[in-house]
Amino acid sequence: MELKLTDLCFTSEKDGSSVGYIIYGSLPDVRIQTSLDGINWSDWDGSDITLNKDEKLYVRNLANTLNKPKNRLEFRMDGKIAASGNVNSMINYSGLSDYCYLYLFYMCDALTTAPILPAMSLVNRCYEYMFKSCESLVIAPFLPATTLVTGCYYGMFEGCNKLNYLKVGFGVPGETTWPEGDCTKNWFNKGVANTGTFVWKGSTEVTSRGVNTIPENWTIETY
């Protein structure tokens, strides 16, 4: 059973910041709730909630599923918001499902830090475009999975033009080859920071660089 850590939490880093969400299509089973203290919960229809500096908003979903290709929930943010806690409170701590976090934080320019993504078992396209165009995100969440699957990280950080650090759980010590398939296709597409650090279990040398692997001018570290 997954360790819950804390539920997904949004902390305001400036007065007047806000968080809301929009549902595209239909997600009849999804039931989103919020709490200001992590104890007392109420249903949330996605209307913007305004927070002053250091105020927290905890978020959870009482359903075991979330997004699908044509039916999805996307957060909307304004101001300056730091995420923390376990993103899997958005799927009621069940296992990931195909496309479950598709576009979840799309164009959340106010997002300064990402929540914890603790899943070790990935499924097809689970994190596709999850942080696309999050232009204030500097450090990516640690991605602990050691085995990748079809499209799991597809376009995940596309357009995150300030991103300069990512640590992952995959890679074979001493090996220069990259995982096969489209598991990381376009995950750095449309630009990240010109310099940065990529940390993995493989070699400090790789067979190719670019938007599908490791950005050209980033330093590679191993562990």
Residue 114 covered by a domain: no
Instruction: Decide if 99 is inside a domain.
Output: no
Closest CA to 89 of 161, 7, 24, 33: 7
What mean pLDDT value characterizes the chain? 96
130 with 207, same domain: the answer is yes
Query: What mean pLDDT do residues 57-66 have?
Result: 97
User: Range of 68's domain?
Assistant: 1-94
Q: What is the mean pLDDT of residues 144-163?
A: 98
Question: Taking the model in full, what pTM does it have?
Answer: 0.96
Residue 5: predicted pLDDT:
67
- What's the pLDDT tens digit per position in 15-29? 999 999 999 999 999
Strand order in the sheet with 111-113: 42-43, 32-35, 56-61, 8-12, 81-84, 111-113
Q: Is residue 103 part of a domain?
A: no
Determine the pLDDT at residue 163: 98
Which of the listed residues 79, 94, 109 is the one where a domain comes to its end? 94
Query: DSSP string covering the chain, please?
Result: -----SBEEEEESSTTEEEEEEEES--TT--EEEESSSSS-EE--S--EEE-TT-EEEEEESSS---BTTBEEEEEEES-EEEESBGGGGGTT----TTTTTTTTTT-TTEEE--B---SS--TTTTTTTTTT-TT--BPPPB--SS--TTTTTTTTTT-TT--EEEBS---TT--PPPSSSTTTTTTTT---SS-EEEESS-SS-S--STTSS-TT-EEEE-
Asked if 88 and 160 sit in the same domain, the reply is: no
Please give the average per-residue pLDDT across 213-221, as a whole number: 96
- Whether the pLDDT of residue 40 is over 70: the answer is yes
**pLDDT digit string, tens, across residues 168-180:** 999 999 999 899 9
Q: Are residues 89 and 124 in the same domain?
A: no
Residues 59 and 150 in one domain: no
Please indicate, yes or no, whether residues 90 and 125 belong to a single structural domain of this protein. no
Domain count for the chain: 2
Say if residue 140 is in the same domain as residue 223. yes
In a domain, 113, yes or no: no
Give the tens place of pLDDT for each residue, 98-111.
999 999 999 999 99
Q: Is the pLDDT of residue 36 over 80?
A: yes
Of 29, 59, 94, which residue constitutes the final position of a domain? 94
Instruction: Give the pLDDT of residue 145.
Output: 98
CA 215 to chain centre: 19
* 73 has a pLDDT exceeding 80: yes
Confidence check: pLDDT of 2 > 50: no
How does pLDDT run across 159-169, given as a tens digit for each residue?
Answer: 999 999 999 99
